[in-house]
Structure 1
Amino acid sequence: MNYIAHIREADRQHQTVEEHLLGVMALAETYGEKIGIKHITGLAGMLHDLGKYTVEFREYILKAVDNPDSPPTRGSVDHSTAGGKLLYQFFHSSEAVKEHRYRGILAEIIGNAIISHHSYLQDFLSPELESKYLLRVRDKELDKFDETVELFFKHVMKESEFYHYVDQAADELEKFLSKSSSASNENKLMFLSKFVFSALIDADRTNTRLFEENIAENSVPNTDELFEAYYDRLMAKINSFTVQPDALSRINQLRREMSDHCEQYAAKPSGIYTLSIPTGGGKTLASLRYALKHATLYHKKHIIYVVPYTTIIEQNAEAVRKLLKDDMHILEHHSNVIDDADEDDELWDGVMNAKQKLKLAKDNWDAPIIFTTMVQFLNVFYAKGSGNIRRLHNLSESVIIFDEVQKVPIPCVSLFNQALNFLEVYCHSSIVLCTATQPALDFVEHKLDLKPDSEMIKNLPQVIEAFKRVEIIDHASDEEFNNEKLADFIGEKLNKLQSVLVILNTKSVVKNLYLQLKERYSDIPLYHLSTSMCAAHRAQILGEVRQHLENRNRVICISTQLIEAGVDVSFECVIRSLAGLDSIAQAAGRCNRHGEQALRQVYVIDHVEENLKHLKEIRMGKQISKKMLIDLKRDQTAHDGDIFSDVAMEWYFKQLYREFDNDVDYYIPRLRKKMTELLSAAKADNTYTQAFYSKRNEHLPLFLANSYRTAAEHFRVIDDLTTSVIVPYHHEGKEIIAELNGERSIADLTRLLRSAQQFTINLFDHELQLLSKNSGLESCLDGKVLVLKEGAYNEEFGLDIENDSGFDLSMF
């Protein structure tokens, strides 16, 4: 009998179960080979759809294809349990475990990946003291399971070969655990589980996509050749700077020296390094030079830039495209247009519809150069949804550059450190922490494994002093501002200066100030920037602002903090609402950026109209910074006499982390547990295993007891969960929405979803509810993608909750 894994939509061609299992195994092996676990990931691939070797599944898939409007009952055929059950029965009995302990651990790691590959990793032990893993692989009865196993050994791999393959996987596990690392075994196994799950998800979806598109194999660019060509183009550009009129200026000489230091570091083995280039020091070019040289020398497959805000993505990606003269191999990933966090798609596996096509669209970070955000990076490791974790394996064999690393959300500091340690030790990745204000990442329990000689820049104190281009004027320690007073203050500066940038902490205050200034200064170009605007919109605004600055026109820009990290603009004056010391330092980098004047002023104010009730990090950072300003006003030698000195920065971060205490380990109040405990606590220290024993008077019969799914369900990089929505900005945004509403192939959806990154905004639940109430929302692709109606997007502010902007998009 022909057992079916998938049926192609175009010609009803069948992909057999054997073809699919062996194809996924082969892909998974290539992913696992990168970190020495080829047989572990291959084992997951060869067994993941074992349950399709049944007459019931064959009848189910044929019926589903023939009757798309009346699919079979959900859960009528379970095909994802069988592979996990085989591993448990063969290698997890008491006798089997005694004979070979590592086989038993493998059964848990791989078995969990297999039973979860249509949703997310299950808990080995949940807060309710249940093991969803055991309920599936041990307790659930599967009809004709023995026949399914026989078919596997007959068609996919002979039983003797299978046992040998498992032994090879067990050897890999033993080597993996024996590798020298500061991490506990539980922590190592947690990251191994996530890597295996990532490899399986991506291999499964890639093989299915290739079959659906009738393509023989996945095309992969030769990154060695590509990075060599990129490096030559970059160096040609850098060398061209030496003949420019200002090449011998002190700042440009320093930029060249720091760039040279980065190249020298590229020859060092992969590790975790810091690049503490002062603001305006040319860190984009310097870090790219390091990345390309290191990637060429050590055969890395990806260069990944991780930035704090989506604003910086479009600017940096565009700059790199121009430098390297390539559009094809550079990916921008702002947010997840598709939300699959609560999706269980087992019902439709094998049958093609809009949801399946979206799942199969390439969203796995397989590009040579990738720009993404800190939110998306952390989501890969810790957030729910198979789409997030699918990307994890592509972080291996990479150069990963964290731009403005001080913006790591405080609750995520320990999780961030653990992820970086894993990437360096096990995944052969080199990591660069790039910022002018290095955070104190070693003041927490789960420390970052930084070596003593990790800083790339020599003579750092002298470099920082040489780059000093602004002075901080304190208006925050002894007076308060509202928008009325701030508008007057801006007017005073405009009597003497051409350009003013104002950075405030909340979107509502930014918008209100903008409207107030609009009435006062109708003759001066005035711009508003916030995350209510999509990337393409912000890019257009920043382009206009830069043009005014270059022409030395009068211009005012009112922005949230999104402009202060990495955005290449240079104003004569910056006014910054009091916030964390790192934010003030970054804001200062938007003033006199290229040393156009000897010294310019950055004014720090205390804005009383900002509601920071739900912005704890900003609120606490503001309090600490204010205390430091008061210290300096009382004693000019306090904090080494400079608010931005190394001494001041170290003191600031120590105080900040002390204020958050348990929060750096991502404390979950509802569970009264840290995320780090849920993910990697030893069984002996796990309160859930202790409670399990007390309740049942027996030990949990597993090696692992961690709560992966529960941890993922509680993980948010920011406090409030948001949803990505595509906006009809410009004709291209409208075209993307129109195309998504039509019938599209997987390749078309891949292209459209990548293009849509420039035209998305992230909305909170209350904003979605108001938009729905005001008829400002629509959906497409069976409700999987949300879009704004044209009236709900404004040319000045972006999102218009009232859906009454009157914005005529046809003018664009």
Structure 2
Amino acid sequence: MTVFYGHTNPNDPPHDKSRWQLMKDHALNVADRARRNAEAFGEGPRAELAGQLHDLGKYGELFQKRLEGKERGLDHWSVGAFFAKHHYRDAALALVVQGHHIGLQQGNKDALDEFTLESLKASHPLELRLTESEPHVTNFKLLLSRLMADGVTPVGARKPELRSGQGAAEMLDTRMLFSALVDADYLDTEDAMRLDGTLPRPVNKGLDAARALCALEAKLSGLGANTDVPEETRQLRADLMQACREAGLEHDRLWTLTAPTGSGKTFAMLLFALTRAAAVQASGQPIRRIVVVLPFLSILDQTVEEYRNLFSAAGFPPEFVLEHHSLAGLRSDESQGGQDDGEARQPGPDARLFVQNWDAPIIITTSVQLLESLHANRPGACRKLHRLAHSVILMDEVQTLPVALAVPTLKTLSRLTSEKYGAVVVMATATQPAFDTLSSEVLEAGLNDGWHPREMAPPGLRLFERSRRVNPVWHLDESVEWSAVQYWVRAEPQVLSIVNMRKHALELVKSLEGIPGLRHMSTYLCPAHRRTILAGIRADLKSGADVRVIATQCVEAGVDLDFPTVLRALGPLDSIAQAAGRCNRHKKRPSGELRVFLPSDEQYPTPAYRRAAQVALTMYRAGGLNLDDPATFRRFYEQLWRYESTHLEVLRQAVERQDYPEVAALYRLINNDSVNVVVPYGEGRALINKARQDGIDRHWMKRAQLYTVSVFRGRDGTLPAHLEPVNYRPRGGALPQPAPDWYLAHDGSYDEHMFGYLPDGGSADPFNQ
């Protein structure tokens, strides 16, 4: 009897098959793991069937020759997908099996109708033939007979009709099944290729909610006794914490938390999540993990540090809190061009392993990582999604969600909070968008209930009224010259001035050179440089020294700064409120002053940003703006959505077509027209030299993040000529290839003293760029 294998051992010669994995073992292992992954959302049997069928093509003799190095480029996934469609009439199952290496494809009726062995042969002329003379049907039946002869018997319910969905919720259902399969496949392949003597992948012990809650309560008790913080502020924070405790004992799954800046939202949300998890810990379906979602890396770093300090002091292991954010540039499974042969990467450090599929009690990640993964089609991006079932998802600073993506995002999140997935979602901010007004557009009958969140902080707490600490002064009736802004900065010993454009920040810094305490903060400074500057700013603020900061929006949401005076160029209302949050933040003064001005050189980073700023200006001129009234922000978002389409029409159409690649391409939270430029600051110099000598890999990219600035392409797609391209070194000995999103800056193009990256490369006047 012929023995069929699923994987080789990469360190063994082709003729030595003693450590090769049997195909039946791979099919049974993946089926078992996929079933366990999907049991949390009631799809265990269907996921098990996907595991049994996913590598049906490996029972072909050509694939066995491929393992011996005698063939290459074979498609081993389409025949299992065809069987799922032909026999079980299950569109999602077919898409999941087909996509486990090449990604989810199109699920509309036309695409499914064309999903035949004949069409597959046309696109893959060799992949589905055992020999050239065998007909397709015989080939298909022969592969299935070999699977069953190996002791694997696919069993599943045949559907009455082949149908695909039409909404975002149904796409999420397919992605969750996909996630259960691909994570199981990755894990079993990793085990099969593990070398003798290496330890198996560690098992995370899970969320010990009761113990974690005790640690947090002890921390909050200490903060409440801190007399460095005014009693009024401590009492406000204590009231918010109590509201979150009480909400954590309720059964609702969709919440908002609307609380002013400086009121302690970071720990308040965690308190809600741990209270909820502890309350249901002994139930049949406990909370499995907490996912904290933040829009910016600057906030993420700060939150990671606070959480790790909290739980490490209580004796929790380092992997209890996992940090995960995406690397811009080459993605984990896109560089293979859809030709992945199923061979896993070599095992690495525990943290990297846990990151791959979010196998940790507390995940701290970015909006880009979570939301783009929820709308992705690639195996690597979707692999972690099944972990979201029965989790608490804490989304902070939700006002940063692009208006154009609001409806599809809310549809997906609402589906996660359905009975099927049992997730709890919290949308937190000081400037709560009126998402509930979109409920009728979000509703997908039978799949989600629209958008009807419950507010965690009751109106009776009067949080915004009690936290009033800033006196806004509006200079919006006529434009203000930059010379006036320069005068304001010179006149205040401690002042923060926030402008909308990086070039405005550079020009303002240039005009103020020589004054005491001058600092520059923008994304022209790499993250490591910004950290150093922020530490110096905080030290000067605490000591009472002169500190005058010219900055862009990078110092707003979540950055802990406390200035007596803040200047803010006109921007969207939520950005103005975030600027106010850096003014008299801890209420140590009777009142701080926020001056909002309309620059004579009025410019904005994007058209959407401009439109939002104009809505704020219109509201001011129509009757004024009250930054301490949540109703003001509700009106702002309602008016903004009248001007903005609440979803991209092309994205809506792609969802209706169930076009997974197109949805993944269109759903982007950030502008993709930028590249990463590694600058010669600190360790960045050594990284630049290494890249020049050896090219770059994923480990290099991770190290380089702290020394990277984003540079946007010109309208014609070009980049500054002084940037130096580099090559990416793929795994497995493949030839180097260009890394289109990574460049190097030379020594003269970065100023460590004040300006950071110089757009012209340092050869001329950078302030005219």
Deviations 1:769-794 (A, max 9, x none): 53676425454444486463563655
How many angstroms does 1:457 deviate by? 1.2
Unaligned residue ranges in structure 1 (runs of 5+):
65-71, 92-103, 178-183, 633-637, 669-674, 682-704, 807-812
- Distance in 2 between residues matched to 1:627 and 1:603, nearest whole Å: 18
**Paired residue for 1:36, among 39, 42, 59?**
42
Partner of 1:775: 724
**Whole-angstrom CA distance in 1 between matches of 2:341 and 2:679:** 31
Partner of 1:311: 298
Distance 1:764 1:220 in 2: 42
Specify which of 248, 253, 261 is matched with residue 271 of structure 1. 253
Q: Pick from 659, 663, 683 the counterpart of residue 707 of structure 1.
A: 659
Q: Going by fraction, where is helix more abundant, 1 or 2?
A: 1
Amino acid at match of 1:645: D
Q: Determine which of 194, 197, 207 is the counterpart of 1:224.
A: 207
Structure 2: 5+ residue stretches without partners: 14-18, 122-127, 130-138, 281-285, 444-448, 731-735, 765-769
Counterpart Cα distance in 2 of 1:57 and 1:380: 31
Secondary structure, aligned partner of 2:603: coil
- Kindly state the Cα deviation for residue 677 of structure 1 after the two structures are TM-superposed: 3.5
Aligned to 2:479: 479
- The 8 Å contact of residues 340 and 386 in structure 1, kept in 2 or not, is answered as no
CA contact (8 A) 2:105 2:659 kept: yes
The SS at the match of 1:10 is coil
Secondary structure in 1 matching 2:387: helix
Structure 1 294/738 Cα, relative in aligned 2: closer, same or farther at 3 Å?
farther
CA contact 2:479–2:600 (8 Å) conserved in 1: no
Is the 2:35–2:45 contact (alpha carbons within 8 Å) kept by the matching residues of 1? Answer: yes
1:747-783 CA-to-partner distances (Å, cap 9, x unmatched) read xx98777655545544544599536764254544444
AA matched with 2:222: S
- The aligned counterpart of 2:641 is 657
C-alpha distance in 2 between matches for 1:776 and 1:514? 30
Cα deviation for residue 655 of structure 1 reads 0.5
SS of the residue corresponding to residue 224 of structure 1 reads coil
Q: Distance in 1 between matches of 2:47 and 2:681?
A: 43
Aligned to 1:369: 362
C-alpha displacement at 1:10, in angstroms? Answer: 3.5
Q: In the alignment, what sits opposite 1:788?
A: 744
* Pairwise CA distance, 1:377: 2.1
**Secondary structure at 1:446 match in 2:** helix
Q: Is the 1:534–1:759 contact (alpha carbons within 8 Å) kept by the matching residues of 2?
A: yes
Q: Which amino acid aligns with 1:375?
A: V
115 and 191 in structure 1: CA distance in 2 versus 1, 3 angstrom threshold: same
Please tell me whether residue 145 in structure 1 is matched to residue 140 in structure 2.
Answer: yes
Matched residue SS, 2:550:
strand
Between the aligned partners of 2:409 and 2:693, the Cα distance in structure 1 is: 38
Match of 1:205 among 182, 186, 194: 186
For residues 394 and 668 of structure 2, the distance between their equivalents in structure 1, rounded to whole angstroms, comes to 22
User: What is the alpha-carbon distance in structure 2 between the residues aligned to residue 238 and residue 285 of structure 1?
Assistant: 8
Q: Hey, what does 1:94 align to over in structure 2?
A: none
Measured against aligned partners, the alpha-carbon deviations of 1:188-221 in whole angstroms (never above 9, x if no partner) come to: 4322111112222222222222333346754332
Q: Deviations over 1:243-288 (max 9, x none)?
A: 3335671111110111111111111125111111111111111111
Aligned-residue offset at 1:464: 1.0
Give the percent of matched residue pairs that are identical in Structure 1 and Structure 2: 27
Tell me the secondary structure at the aligned position of residue 370 of structure 1: strand
Counterpart residue identity of residue 666, structure 1: L
Q: For 2:67 and 2:303, how far apart are their aligned partners in 1?
A: 46
1:429 is displaced (CA, Å) by 1.2
1:524-563 alignment runs, 5 A limit: 524-563=516-555
Q: Are the equivalent residues in 1 in contact too, given 2:190–2:347 (CA < 8 A)? A: no
Tell me the distance in 2 between the aligned counterparts of 1:735 and 1:563: 27
Query: Which residue does 1:117 correspond to in 2?
Result: 100
1:245 matches 2:227: yes
Separation of aligned partners in 2, 1:539 and 1:756: 15
Q: Give the Cα–Cα distance (whole angstroms) in 2 for the partners of residues 206 and 805 of structure 1.
A: 51
Q: Return the alpha-carbon distance in structure 2 between the equivalents of residues 123 and 740 of structure 1.
A: 41
2:425 aligned with 1:431:
yes
Mapping for residues 394-409 of structure 1, pairs under 5 Å = 394-409=387-402
SS at match of 1:730: coil
- State whether residues 441 and 450 of structure 2, in contact with CA within 8 Å, keep that contact through their aligned partners in structure 1: no
- Amino acid corresponding to residue 9 of structure 1 in structure 2: P
Q: Counterpart of 1:468?
A: 468
For residue 100 of structure 2, give the secondary structure of its aligned residue in structure 1: coil
* CA 1:793–1:314: 2 relative to 1, 3 Å: farther
Q: Structure 1 residues 205, 571: closer, same or farther in 2, change over 3 A? A: same
Deviations 1:282-306 (A, max 9, x none): 1111111112222233332221121
Aligned residue identity for 1:574:
V
**Is the 8 Å Cα contact of residues 201 and 386 (structure 1) preserved in structure 2?**
yes
When the two structures are aligned, how many residues end up with a matched partner?
Answer: 712
C-alpha deviation, 1:236, in angstroms? 1.3
What secondary structure does 1:79 align onto?
coil
Instruction: Tell me the residue number matched to 2:497.
Output: 502
Match of residue 95 from structure 1: none
Please state how far the C-alpha of 1:152 moved relative to its aligned partner. Answer: 0.9
Task: Find the counterpart in structure 1 of residue 580 from structure 2.
Answer: 588
After superposition, give the CA deviation of every residue in 1:77-133 in whole Å (9 maximum; x if it has no partner): 211111101122323xxxxxxxxxxxx2xx21011111122232111349xxx6277
Preserved CA contact (<8 Å) 1:777 1:789: no
Contact 1:397–1:429, Cα closer than 8 Å, also in 2: yes
Query: Whole-Å Cα distance in 2 between the matches of residues 455 and 654 of structure 1?
Result: 18
C-alpha contact 1:124 1:133 (8 A) present in aligned 2? no
**Pairwise mapping of residues 296-695 of structure 1 onto structure 2 (< 5 A)?**
296-298=278-280, 299-325=286-312, 327-337=318-328, 338-339=330-331, 342-343=334-335, 345=337, 347-351=339-343, 362-383=355-376, 385-425=378-418, 426-444=420-438, 445-447=440-442, 454-459=454-459, 462-482=462-482, 484-492=483-491, 494=492, 498-517=493-512, 519-521=513-515, 524-612=516-604, 615-632=606-623, 642-660=626-644, 663-668=645-650, 675-679=651-655, 681=656
**SS of equivalent to 1:262:** helix
> Bigger shift: 406-415 or 368-377?
368-377
- Return the TM-score normalized by structure 2: 0.84
Paired AA for residue 308 in structure 1: P
By how many angstroms is 1:24 displaced?
Answer: 1.9
User: Is this contact kept in 2: 1:774–1:802, CA < 8 A?
Assistant: no
Alpha-carbon contact 1:84-1:137 (below 8 Å) kept: no
Q: Secondary structure at the match of 2:287?
A: coil
Give distance in 2, aligned partners of 1:790 and 1:212.
Answer: 42
> 1:366-420: per-residue Cα shift (whole Å, max 9, x none)?
3322222222222112245433222322222211111111111000110111111
Residue 611 of structure 2: SS of its match in structure 1?
A: helix
How far the C-alpha of 1:440 sits from its partner, in A, is: 0.7
Q: Is the 8 A contact 2:300 2:365 kept in 1?
A: yes
Superposition deviation, residue 706 in structure 1: 2.4
Are 2:293 and 2:394, in contact at CA under 8 Å, matched by a contact in 1? yes
Aligned counterparts of 1:775 and 1:185: Cα–Cα separation in 2: 45
The amino acid across from 1:646 in the alignment is P
- Preserved contact between residue 417 and residue 446 of structure 1 (Cα < 8 Å): no
User: Match of 2:171?
Assistant: 190
The TM-score normalised by the length of structure 1 is: 0.80
Distance in 2, matches of 1:544 and 1:491, equals 19
**CA drift at 1:552:** 1.7
Following the alignment from structure 2 to structure 1, what is the Cα–Cα distance between the partners of residues 144 and 258?
A: 57
Q: Structure 2 CA distance, aligned partners of 1:534 and 1:18?
A: 51
Q: Does 1:59 align with 2:43?
A: no
For the aligned residue pairs, the C-alpha RMSD in angstroms reads 3.6
Q: Closer, same or farther in 2 for the Cα pair 1:469/1:186, shift >3 Å?
A: closer
CA distance in 1, matches of 2:738, 2:289: 30
Alpha carbons of structure 1 residues 14 and 275: separation in structure 2 relative to 1, 3 Å:
same
Contact 2:229 2:586 in 1 (8 A): no
